[in-house]
Amino acid sequence: MINRIGLGLALAGAVLLAGCGAGGKGEARHVLPTDITPIHYDIAVRPDAAALTFTGSVGADVEVGAATDTVTLNAADMTFGKVQLDGSNVTPTVAFDKDAQTATLTFDTPLTPGKHRLAIDYTGKINQQAFGLFSVDYDTPQGSKRLLATQFESPDARRFAPMWDEPALKATFKLTVDAPSADMVVSNTPVEKTEALEGGLIRTTFGATPKMSSYLLFLAVGDFERVSRKVGDVDVGVVVKRGSTGQAGFALDSAEQLLPWFNDYFGVPYPLPKLDMVALPGGAAAFSAMENWGAISYFEKAVLVDEAVSSESDRQGAFGTIAHEMAHQWFGDLVTMNWWDDIWLNEGFASWMANKATHVFHPEWSADLQTMAGRDGAMNLDARAATHPVVQPVADARDTAFDTISYQKGQAVINMVEAWVGEDHFRDALRAYMKKHAYGNTVSDDLWSAVEAASGQPIRQIAGDFTSQPGVPLIKVTSLGSAWRLAQRRFGVDAPSRKPLTWSTPVAATWPGLKRDWRGLVSMGQSVRIKGPADAPFLANYGQAGYFRTLYDDKAFGRLKTSFGTLAPADQLGLLYDYWAFGQEGTAPVARWLDLAANLPADANPVVWMQVTDVLGQIDRLYDANPDQTAWRGRARTLLAPVWARVGWTPVAGEPATTVLLRARLIEALGRFDDQTVVAEARARFARMDLPAAIREPTLTVVAMHADAATWDRLHDMARTSTNALEKQQLYSVLGETRDRALARRTLELALSDEPPTTLRQNILRGPSANFPAMTWTYLRANKTRADALFAPGSMVGMLQRITGGWADETIANDALAMARAEGEVPQRLKASLSAAVYRARVRRERLDEIGEWVKGG
């Protein structure tokens, strides 16, 4: 699954996050009894989209291991009707446990060991957010329409049918759906047969799925169209709402490239006869795409490309998301983690494979450089108390941590291990792993066993250190004349994250410009002394494959600073990311990052400049409501002026795709820094509707930032009346960027009104939450009942995970945390987001004076 961390930065490793996990407390797992194993399900449903309800029946073939008079399975938000056992009507006592989301059927006569068939008629609920079977309303030139789709990870298949809803309890599924004859019905497998029914309905029966986990089952019903082509023996299609086929070409072309490559890389061909990519209007608070086997679901922005609306970032993000979800067809679907403890085996690997595939097909995108943003984001969280191990105990499937640690740290650890053992050995290991465990379930050790067998290297210690414990190693480099000492400690920004831990850390070091390098392991308490050329710059973690931060003593840093402009872009990024982290925490002066940024050549790699631009924006947020912000913005404009002079508004034929990305970042940043020339040009382009797709969103963002009431009203009217779902999402999102307090208040009221599509509300809230966090929090707290209803069956607590990323206010962060605790277990991602807000508040208190001195010295 691509989560929301990741969509906008699918290539930057900030891919793509779903779920709301806390986990990791060592409680006993909330799992089903092991005496009954499902083998096959026949599920039939008849949705009533208008009433937001559905009726269903399930027939489950099961294997009973020992005589029992009770059957416990998962069920949520449903009621049971007739029950049959082995074809006979029975009347068991049914006890629902709402907390555990289970139903226990107690029979008068025990079930004997062996095969049985349990059949249950039931009714269920269609949700308006992406849980279980849900609806999506969208506008068309002919008026509003509604489609239905499912989202079952994790764990919401139990909202669709009573079943054994755990990843290790794999079974085959056969789905039958009664739906309006004008609608298309899509599921994991091809249609087996159809039958006309009374009342304008058609009954569609799909072929049986392979043996798979319940969360991979999928259904969509709506006014769809499908475009497709054969890729080998597989029918690859893109399913879109009617009228959107013109936006599907990029996805179809991408899948045609990727499928043969994945077949070859994994050494196991894709096993289903078809592979659909189903594009849904709108969005979800938690995720952007889901790897349902044979029928991947996406929200439109994550997969469709509209030449008039979609930016270069959208295009690259779509490719990364498509690659991520297609990689899941092997890592996650064919081979699935045994339990949610090991969700990283799905998500970390899919993220890593997406990056690898992007590098193959689009080297011009510099995916390896962009991915470093995700690794840095993981290290930022991993250096705070709110982190957790990559592999963590998960007591309840609802607490699975679909977060930066599972995705981006998992991806970074895989990348580090691959670099250590070699690409060929690692690929051989994955091929053996796939063949051995196809249609089965695994734990992390199964993977490391395969890597050790293929490479002949004892990798378990390294892999275990980085996946079984939290935290970030810090490698301290000390100059010793013609030698260097490497020592390890833990990097953390609060007391819990500084608790000593040790890692067997693979380190690759070099002397830039010289044909010498060094590789070895560094651990706590076992420093390493390396001899080398005296007075030469020395670089640890060259190529940046390692998951650690590097701190240089003054002499070593000075040499790297002098040669900074000549370092490889990856190593420039490594220094910038590390020294921004050190500057915030106080490990090193924040002026060191500022000096590196100021000395970056204007013609440096655009991805490096994107990091500089993003950090300047982070610093600007720290200055919000501070009178010194004007001086800071002037200094930031000066720092960006040389690169803006090179990039400008107008693209140059043949320029790198990364320059296109940088241009968009610079327009938005300079607008934020009150560059009056940029603001005037953005307004002029908006007035004449000169908005090329590549700069459309940042231009609209600048206009919205500086909007008066009339301009905001115009943007609002454009959002309200647009029938292009991608454009509507873009326009509603930029409305919240206003820096006018009264207009921000109107944005908040709009988000909780009846006007916007339900699935876009969190997009609208992000802007005011970043610009006016205290006002936003006060408004949402006062309107919590309304917000809970709009985001049901989640709640405002779940939504807060998505909109608190810009907070730097300890008071409101603690208030939000207290509210969440009052409702139960706090989602892991909300803990992480609020802990970041508390940390930013500390950085604001402790670092602005130092930054201010640097500004004055400029």
For 661-675, the DSSP string reads HHHHHHHHHHHHTT-
Cis peptide, bond prior to residue 793, ω within 30 of zero: yes
Asked if residue 832 lies in contact with residue 408, where contact means CB atoms within 8 angstroms, the answer is no
What CA–CA distance (Å, rounded) separates 37 from 71?
Answer: 11
- 36-48 vs 172-180, strand pairing mode: parallel
Structural element, H or E, at residue 522: strand 517-522
Among 325, 347, 668, 825, the active-site one is 325
What CA–CA distance (Å, rounded) separates 322 from 317?
Answer: 8
What CA–CA distance (Å, rounded) separates 385 from 829?
Answer: 12
Q: Which residues have a Cβ under 8 Å from the Cβ of 645 and sit 6 or more positions away?
A: 602
Look up residue 86 and give its DSSP letter.
Answer: T
Between 410-421 and 367-382, two packed helices, what is the crossing angle to 10 degrees? Answer: 120
Handedness of CA 161, 164, 167, 173 (dihedral sign): negative
Phi-psi region of 158 (alpha: psi -120 to 50; beta: other; left: phi over 0): alpha
Asked if residue 370 lies in contact with residue 13, where contact means CB atoms within 8 angstroms, the answer is yes
Strand positions, DSSP E, 274-384: 274-280, 287-290, 295-299, 335-337
What CA–CA distance (Å, rounded) separates 754 from 760?
Answer: 12
The answer to whether residue 325 is catalytic is yes
Quick one: 39 exposed, middle or buried, by C-beta within 10 A (0-12, 13-18, 19+)?
middle
- 472-479 vs 483-491, strand pairing mode: antiparallel
What CA–CA distance (Å, rounded) separates 626 from 808?
Answer: 13
From 77, 152, 86, select the one nearest 114 (Cα to Cα).
Answer: 86
What CA–CA distance (Å, rounded) separates 610 from 663?
Answer: 9
For 732-787, the DSSP string reads HHHHTT---HHHHHHHHHHHTSSSS-GGGHHHHHHHHHHHSHHHHHHHHHHTHHHH
Catalytic positions: 325
